[in-house]
A and B are shown apart, each in its own frame.
Chain A
Amino acid sequence: MNSVSTIARHTLTEIRRNRVFLILISLFLASSLISIYVGSATIRTELTAYNLAARIQDWSSLPSSHEPPSLPLLSVMKNSIEYVLMIGCLLSIFIGYDGISRDMRTHTLELILSREVYRDQYLTGKMLGGLTLIAFLHLLSFLVELIALMFIAKTPVTLTDFTLIFTFHIVSIVMMMLFYILSLLFSVVFAQALPSFLTSISIWVAGIYIIPELARSVASYTLSGNTAQQNVQSALMETPLSKVISSLSPASHFRSLGTALLEKGTVFPFSSLFYLMSACVIAAALLYILFQRKELTRHV
């Protein structure tokens, strides 16, 4: 356990001293603030529009035909979902893509493993270091959001809201850990920084943007109605194929989890949480297996 914590602490120190990482952290925290500012501004605009429409109807003595917009308190934070997918996952890739290959390249891994450290302890230390850092970031972000909700959005935070925001951050940690573990995996596979970075970024782009877009495009091509109105309605509906494609993307699962927590606040898609956690476990298992088999030195 001592070796694991030593490597975890060392991983933290290494990352902390990197300037690019500090920039990304600042961006991540700023995004928490921006998310709430933009969210509250949007809600204010919607409410103003509704009030204006209601007033016009009052003047003209027409019966009210519009329902007041349904705006759950936490919908001010809905942009956070996209910020986690964009900045959060990028940050995870950044801390992981050269995490192990750097130790291989500089031969420090040989030194570490010639000490009383098993390979799995080294990996556990690396993952623990990354997890601590990601969790710490989310704790900071959580505090920033609570303050911003109270002082920027000027909304009282109930215990339920507090729990929902907290759960959202836990889910975000799982999402970011998935990309951290994947980038560590590529770091082991390629043993070089550049291919590992490019592959991690490609997976990120595919998982976050391409697959969900593909699912959407498949859904829009399945026009089956006889009338234009029916076609529009069917185009908006998901098809089995689009559902299958969409389910391959971790971002789709994260979005549905985030939406359930921050916008609806009711039905929690446990299957999506299960998907994200399973993906983390499978990636971690692959990482352990590959690293155990990796030959670290091939000099003769």
Chain B
Amino acid sequence: MNTIIKTHELTKTYQGKRAVDTLSLSVKKGEIFGFLGHNGAGKTTTISMLITLLNPSSGQAWINGYHITGQSMEVRRSIGYLPEQVALYNELSVSENLQFFASLSGAGQPKKQTEKVLEKLHISSWKDRKVSHLSKGMRQRVGLAQAIIHEPAILFLDEPSSGLDPQGTLELRELLRQLNREDGTTIFMNTHMLTEVSHLCTSIGILQNGKLIIQGRLEKVLSQFPGEANLEDIYLKAMEKGDK
């Protein structure tokens, strides 16, 4: 399998503090990668650099073979992004929101693309509803629709299940699985929900204080900790190890 996300000693410094510290990781095409870490570990900063919103202080990264600073437009063409707080225009309808983002993604026919994605996520019946009238779970689904409207090769999700009820979480998980299976979309997901990772991800990375302390295929990581029953225990053990 080809590497689709690669970073080499990626670093971001804010006022002398290293939010991301010499991060080197790689994610292969078609994987669902769970990026774990406690709050403030540097997960969102990493995603922000990978989607070209933030310039790294040092280090390199490539997305789909394109350099994040030198070829930012090619990178943006390859990615979809769903932030932690679903960012949509409340006063616009679902369809208007999606058409707006489709136009910005250079989609030739924004209206057609919008209908296609609404159909795909089974939300065609919501198209004329104002976003302000949608529940959190529904908004998350529309947010996912905007992220995949231009059929990106890689999808970046920042805490996608945050604030969702169990039903919403299950539905979102199923949608992501479907995207990965049917379209071959690589998914890079920031999360601190370990159950989500164990149910969905094929590989993981654990970040602590900006440093990557573990990375690999999920089953390989599990095998590194014989005697630990679940991912939760492994996560805690890895954190302890990192502290030392």
Number of chain A residues whose Cβ lies closer than 8 Å to a Cβ of chain B: 25
Whole-angstrom distance from the CB of A172 to the nearest CB of chain B? 29
For B73, give its contact among A108, A112, A116 (CB under 8 Å).
A116
Q: Which of A10-18, A28-36, A271-279 forms part of the interface with chain B?
A: A10-18
Q: Mark B202-242, 1 if CB is under 8 A from A, else 0.
A: 00000000100000000000000000000000000000000
Q: Which of B40, B42, B79, B83 has the most CB of A within 10 A?
A: B83
A116 close to B53 (CB less than 8 A):
no
For B19, give its contact among A17, A296, A300 (CB under 8 Å).
A300
B106 interfacial by beta-carbon distance below 8 Å: yes
**Given that A107-B85, A107-B87, A110-B53 are known contacts, is A299 also in contact with B44, CB under 8 Å in the complex?**
yes
A2 close to B103 (CB less than 8 A):
yes
- Measured CB to CB, the nearest residue on chain B to A17 is B91
Find residues 256-300 in chain A having any chain B CB closer than 8 Å to their own CB.
295-300
Q: Which B residues are in CB contact (< 8 Å) with A158?
A: none
B193 interfacial by beta-carbon distance below 8 Å: no
For B87, give its contact among A2, A110, A295 (CB under 8 Å).
A110
A115 interfacial by beta-carbon distance below 8 Å: yes
B4 interfacial by beta-carbon distance below 8 Å: no
Number of chain B residues whose Cβ lies closer than 8 Å to a Cβ of chain A: 34
Q: Which A residues are in CB contact (< 8 Å) with B79?
A: 114
B87 close to A300 (CB less than 8 A):
no
For B146, give its contact among A111, A296, A299, A300 (CB under 8 Å).
A111
For B103, give its contact among A6, A17, A107, A296 (CB under 8 Å).
A6
Q: Mark A79-115, 1 if CB is under 8 A from B, else 0.
A: 0000000000000000000000000001110111111
A3 interfacial by beta-carbon distance below 8 Å: yes
- Measured CB to CB, the nearest residue on chain B to A115 is B104
B11 interfacial by beta-carbon distance below 8 Å: no
B44 close to A107 (CB less than 8 A):
no
Whole-angstrom distance from the CB of B215 to the nearest CB of chain A? 19
A117 interfacial by beta-carbon distance below 8 Å: yes
A297 close to B48 (CB less than 8 A):
yes
B172 interfacial by beta-carbon distance below 8 Å: no
A298 close to B14 (CB less than 8 A):
yes
- Measured CB to CB, the nearest residue on chain B to A10 is B100
B76 interfacial by beta-carbon distance below 8 Å: yes
Q: Which A residues are in CB contact (< 8 Å) with B103?
A: 2-3, 6
Instruction: Write the residues of chain B forming the contact surface with A, with a CB cutoff of 8 angstroms.
Output: 14, 19, 40-45, 48, 51-54, 73, 76-77, 79, 81, 83, 85, 87-89, 91-92, 96, 100-101, 103-106, 146, 210
Apart from A110-B87, A114-B81, A115-B104, 16 more pairs, CB < 8 Å:
A2-B103, A6-B103, A13-B96, A14-B91, A17-B91, A110-B48, A110-B81, A111-B81, A113-B53, A114-B52, A116-B104, A116-B105, A116-B106, A297-B44, A299-B45, A300-B41
Instruction: Write the residues of chain A forming the contact surface with B, with a CB cutoff of 8 angstroms.
Output: 2-3, 6-7, 10, 13-14, 17, 106-108, 110-117, 295-300
A-B contact pairs, 6 of them (CB 8 A): A3-B104, A110-B48, A114-B51, A114-B81, A115-B101, A116-B104
